């Protein structure tokens, strides 16, 4: 347990109706008593308190105080929460009083959650879920974060680790008691279980990065020749004039990014420079960046002026792939009958008259949704998880190729350690616990 008591404003900064100041650590309760002049507090009960600065004797506020005795608190430590009026001066007065008390200090970013993790109140995936929930900008993001915070990922990874530990227990037994004749079918069964597990983890890894896309946002690039109407479409998507629109070809030069909520899903849209050859070095740099961005995006809108059909720009045609929505814009001026462009059926629209826009938005939303679809199984949300799971699979693959029990056991240990890195939990003690509680050698 930490011997320092930390405090911080837990609600957002700035003027508001109610502000929450939180304390955690051994002195939290005595601080509550000093500020309120009372000592009789019921656990987890909102008490009306007059807060008075103990040194100056100045009143701070008339508010509420809640006391959460350890270990039944967010951090697992003694916690006190003050709900006070959210004026800047009131909040500052309380923070100043706390700052003057011995043994108290302002919390570092994430320190309350860190203490919760250290006191086994949550594992690393739950802590990450909590961070994501606070940063979530769309409904789907918040849903995924909440699910992770409530332990969906942690449970999955712990379950996998437990299953490996049980199998490991078998190999530990073979190593420690070589004279006991353990039946061969037990080993075959153990190996079959590892193979199953390996497939489950591989399936989880093959999720098209949906959890990561939902967490970080789907990257969408709008590309096409100059004057196709790319910036006009960005402005329609963003519902404001993000980019300059003009009839001068080559208006957009740099990449213009906009963060959007499309059907509850986060999308980072990039408007790009029109693709063409130019003598202007700045414009050419813009074209290079546009092509780069198209390459690195999860989804592309490849846009042409419908009037250009059938003489479409080759640079733009070259970018079309399975992740492209091909659009013929300016249908208010021209609507050629085209069945296929680069293997895709074009979508007609007008970014100016707004014809076809509703259908296009629907199509776009579907494409975004399938890329970060929330299904029954929880999705991994971070590269950190992915790397550890890949290490785990590697160890399981090695295990399958090895007969010697000592080496096989070592690979299983590496596999559990990789999973343990994700949740921050597993250590050797866990292996021993399973061996002795679950495996009856002396039978």
Q: Do the strands 347-348 and 218-223 form a parallel or antiparallel pair, or are they unpaired?
A: unpaired
Q: Which two tokens stand for residue 17?
A: 């109706």
Is 251 a binder of K ion (CB under 5 A)?
A: yes
User: CB of 234: closest distance to ligand GTP in angstroms?
Assistant: 8
CA dist., res. 65 & res. 41, Å (int): 9
* Residue 230 in marked binding region: yes
Task: Based on the shown chain and the rule CB under 6 A, indicate whether residue 258 belongs to the binding site for ligand GTP.
Answer: no
Q: Has 37 been labeled as part of a binding site?
A: no
How far, in Å, are 249, 328, 345, 372 from residue 354 at the CA level?
Answer: 21, 13, 20, 27
Residues 234-253 touching ligand GTP, rule: CB under 6 A, are: 245-247, 249-252
Task: Say if strands 347-348 and 324-329 run parallel, antiparallel, or are unpaired.
Answer: parallel
Q: Quick check: 278 binds K ion (CB under 5 A)?
A: no
At closest approach, how far in Å is the CB of 297 from ligand GTP? 17
The answer to whether the annotation marks 231 as part of a ligand binding site is yes
User: 324 forms bridges with which residues in the sheet?
Assistant: 300
Q: Are 271 and 254 in contact (CB under 8 A)?
A: no
Rule CB under 5 A: is residue 158 a binding residue for Mg ion? no
| Interaction between residue 277 and ligand GTP (CB under 6 A) | no
Contact flag: residue 228 with ligand GTP (CB under 6 A): yes
Q: Say if residue 227 carries a ligand binding annotation.
A: yes
Using CB under 5 A as the criterion, what x/- string covers residues 197-236 for binding K ion?
A: ------------------------------x---------
Dist CA 153 CA 151 (whole Å): 6
Tell me whether residue 87 or residue 250 sits nearer to ligand GTP (CB atom): 250
Q: Is 232 in the site for ligand GTP (CB under 6 A)?
A: yes
Q: Report the C-alpha gap between 190 and 173 in whole angstroms.
A: 13
* Minimum distance, C-beta of residue 213 to ligand GTP, in the bound complex (Å): 26
273 is in an annotated binding site: yes
241-270 residues in contact with Mg ion (CB under 5 A) are 251-252
Q: Left, alpha or beta for 184 (phi > 0: left; psi -120 to 50: alpha)?
A: alpha
- The reply on whether position 75 binds Mg ion by CB under 5 A is no
Q: Are 34 and 103 in contact (CB under 8 A)?
A: no
Task: Give 144 or 329: the residue with its C-beta nearer to K ion.
Answer: 329
Q: Which is nearer to K ion, 240 or 345 (CB)?
A: 240
- Identify the CA nearest to 334 among candidates 315, 314, 362, 353: 353
- Residue 353 in tokens: 């008259």
DSSP calls for 352-368: TT-TTHHHHHHHHHHHH
User: Does 332 sit near ligand GTP (CB under 6 A)?
Assistant: yes
Q: Exposed (0-12), middle (13-18) or buried (19+): which is 116, by Cβ within 10 Å?
A: buried
Binding at 330: pick from K ion, Mg ion, ligand GTP, none (beta carbon under 5-8 Å per type):
ligand GTP
Is residue 282 at the binding interface for ligand GTP, with CB under 6 A as the rule?
no
Residues of each annotated binding site for GTP: 227-232, 246-252, 271-274
The residue ranges that bind K ion (CB under 5 A) are 227, 251
The residue ranges that bind ligand GTP (CB under 6 A) are 226-232, 245-247, 249-252, 273-274, 329-330, 332-333, 350-352
């Amino acid at each position: 347990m930490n011997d320092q008591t930390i405090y911080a404003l837990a609600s957002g900064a700035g003027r508001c109706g109610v502000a929450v100041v939180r304390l955690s650590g051994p002195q939290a309760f005595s601080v509550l008593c000093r500020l309120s002049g009372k000592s009789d507090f019921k656990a987890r009960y909102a008490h009306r308190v007059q807060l008075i600065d103990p040194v100056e004797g100045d009143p701070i506020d008339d508010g509420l105080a809640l006391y959460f005795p350890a270990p039944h608190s967010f951090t697992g430590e003694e916690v006190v929460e003050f709900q006070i009026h959210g004026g800047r001066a009131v909040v500052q007065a309380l923070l100043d009083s706390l700052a003057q008390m011995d043994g108290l200090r302002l919390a570092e970013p994430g320190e309350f959650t860190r203490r919760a993790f250290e006191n086994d109140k949550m594992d690393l995936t739950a802590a990450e879920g909590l961070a994501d929930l606070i940063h979530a900008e769309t409904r789907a993001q918040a849903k995924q974060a909440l699910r992770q915070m409530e332990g969906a990922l942690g449970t999955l990874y712990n379950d996998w680790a437990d299953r490996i530990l049980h199998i490991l227990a078998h190999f530990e037994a073979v190593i420690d008691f070589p004279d006991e004749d353990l039946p061969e079918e037990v080993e075959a069964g153990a190996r079959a279980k590892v193979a199953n597990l390996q497939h489950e983890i591989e399936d989880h890894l093959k999720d098209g990065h949906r959890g990561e896309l939902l967490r970080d946002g789907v990257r969408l690039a709008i590309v096409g020749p100059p004057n196709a109407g790319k910036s006009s479409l960005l402005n329609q998507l963003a519902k404001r004039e993000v980019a300059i629109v003009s009839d001068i070809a080559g208006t957009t030069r740099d990449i213009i990014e906009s963060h959007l909520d499309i059907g509850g899903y986060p999308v980072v849209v990039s408007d790009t420079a029109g693709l063409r050859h130019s003598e202007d070095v700045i414009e050419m740099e813009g074209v290079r960046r546009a092509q780069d961005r198209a390459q690195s995006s999860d989804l592309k809108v490849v846009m042409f002026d419908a009037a250009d059909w059938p003489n479409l720009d080759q640079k733009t045609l070259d970018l079309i792939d399975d992740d492209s929505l091909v659009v013929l814009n300016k249908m208010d001026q021209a609507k050629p009958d085209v069945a296929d462009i680069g293997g895709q059926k074009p979508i007609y629209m007008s970014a100016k008259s707004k014809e076809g826009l509703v259908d296009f938005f629907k199509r776009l939303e579907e494409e975004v949704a399938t890329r970060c679809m929330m299904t029954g199984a929880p999705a991994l949300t971070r590269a950190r998880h992915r790397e550890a799971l890949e290490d785990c699979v590697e160890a399981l693959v090695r295990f399958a190729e090895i007969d010697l029990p000592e080496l096989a056991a070592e690979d299983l240990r590496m596999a559990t350690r990789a999973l343990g890195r994700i949740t921050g939990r597993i250590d050797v003690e866990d292996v021993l616990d399973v061996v002795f509680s679950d495996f009856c050698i002396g039978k």
